[in-house]
Amino acid sequence: MHAPPAIDELSPPDRTLLGPGPSMVHPRVLRTMGTPLVGHLDPAFLEVMDEVQELLRYTFQTTNKWTIPVSGTGSAAMEAAFANLVRPGDTVLVPTNGYFGHRMAAMAERAGGEVVTVDAPWGAPLSSAAVADAFDTHQPTVFGFVHAETSTGVLQPDVSELVEIAHAHDAFVIADTVTSLGGVELRVDDWGIDVAYAGGQKCLSCPPGASPLTLSDRAMDRILGRESPVRSWYLDLSLLEGYWGSERAYHHTAPITNVYALREALRLVAEEGLEERWERHRRVASELVAGLETHGLEPFVEETSWLPSLTTFKLPTGVSDEWLISQLRETYSIEIAGGLGDLAGEVVRIGCMGHSARREPIAYLIAAVGELLEK
């Protein structure tokens, strides 16, 4: 008989979360997570599913019937998009200007796609001209781009222009909106995006676990018309359709508590209003930039492609990212993050997302950085 381990009651530190995610969860969402479960096929839960779908359509600004929370984190919704839409042998165009474009390439390859790239430096957006050239050269069937690149703090401008180029070549567009949904302007239908996916733990003030995904009828028709089965059983949308579509039959047990949480987080989005929410993120993030500039931290990205929900800052001479990150954590219990990939050691990344996009936590961070740098 092994002895039972003596583990104390859970008591994580009380952090101010201002990194690239998770952001702070809204207290109403946390409270909702204490709601007792019903079964995932209970009529009461089926109603919750309808409500979540309706709220997601508003948040994505779409009328897409195929709008669901995928069980799992943002990468699960991302993989659902690529695994279903990409057929073996398809040419898939992805960007190289950040960490998540590279993840798109990995997922497209696993789905059997032939990956080609459109390049821009880390910290810069894709240019429409480069995307048009890549389409002329490679004639891809699927084009993935990252609307809000969390690794660099770049917001891709001119989305409808990129979509127009893709549609002129009869291609499908997948948008990574993990760090934009609910935080910066995103209009799936107006911009013509075929597939968009996101996560809960960024601008939605929700924990990770149930991740938004929306697909146009055109994209879903392609998926339902596949000859070869999707290479993932769990994320196969033709099977998930049985649960989230009209049939409501068992596929897998939905993460009920995460769906409750997402419902409450999306209710908060609807109460605040999307445009007001986008404006709040921009206003508070502008205060963050102005405040840190007074302490010598300069934004890394040009203003025209600045992403309010995630700003990358160059550090003053003599200050290392590791030192600043650990001092903020140890002395002030604030979480921020360092650079990834090409930007490792060059920048720090500071999130201003969801319930963290408020004056109080941002003012606290600015004051903490000021005190540390004065020392």
Q: Which residues bind ligand PLP (CB under 6 A)?
A: 20-21, 73-75, 78, 100, 146, 150, 176, 178-179, 199, 208
Q: How far is CA 243 from the centre of its chain?
A: 24
Radius of gyration of the chain (CA): 21
Taken as a whole, the chain contains a residue count of 375
- The whole-angstrom separation of Cα 82 and Cα 85 is 5
- Smallest gap from Cβ 177 to ligand PLP, in A, equals 8
Choose between 94 and 146: whose C-beta lies nearer to ligand PLP. Answer: 146
- Residues 6 or more apart whose CB falls under 8 angstroms from that of 137 comprise 116
Contact 179, 203 (CB under 8 A): yes
- Smallest gap from Cβ 171 to ligand PLP, in A, equals 21
- Smallest gap from Cβ 201 to ligand PLP, in A, equals 6
Choose between 140 and 208: whose C-beta lies nearer to ligand PLP. Answer: 208
Closest by alpha carbon to 127, among 158, 153, 93? 158
For the beta carbon of residue 148, count every other beta carbon within 10 angstroms.
29
- Smallest gap from Cβ 149 to ligand PLP, in A, equals 6
E strands in the chain: 16-17, 66-72, 91-95, 114-118, 142-146, 148-149, 154-155, 172-176, 195-197, 209-215, 298-299, 310-314, 334-335, 337-338, 347-351
Choose between 16 and 150: whose C-beta lies nearer to ligand PLP. Answer: 150
The two beta strands, 172-176 and 142-146, are parallel
Choose between 146 and 301: whose C-beta lies nearer to ligand PLP. Answer: 146
Residue 277, amino acid: R
- Smallest gap from Cβ 70 to ligand PLP, in A, equals 10
Choose between 146 and 173: whose C-beta lies nearer to ligand PLP. Answer: 146
For the beta carbon of residue 326, count every other beta carbon within 10 angstroms.
11
Contact 353, 180 (CB under 8 A): no
With tokens 């205060």, the residue in question is 287
Choose between 55 and 178: whose C-beta lies nearer to ligand PLP. Answer: 178
- Smallest gap from Cβ 21 to ligand PLP, in A, equals 5
Residue nearest to ligand PLP (CB): 74
Choose between 113 and 199: whose C-beta lies nearer to ligand PLP. Answer: 199
- Smallest gap from Cβ 338 to ligand PLP, in A, equals 14
Can you read off the two tokens belonging to residue 249? 């039959």
- Smallest gap from Cβ 47 to ligand PLP, in A, equals 27
Choose between 74 and 339: whose C-beta lies nearer to ligand PLP. Answer: 74
DSSP state for residue 36 in the 8-state scheme: P
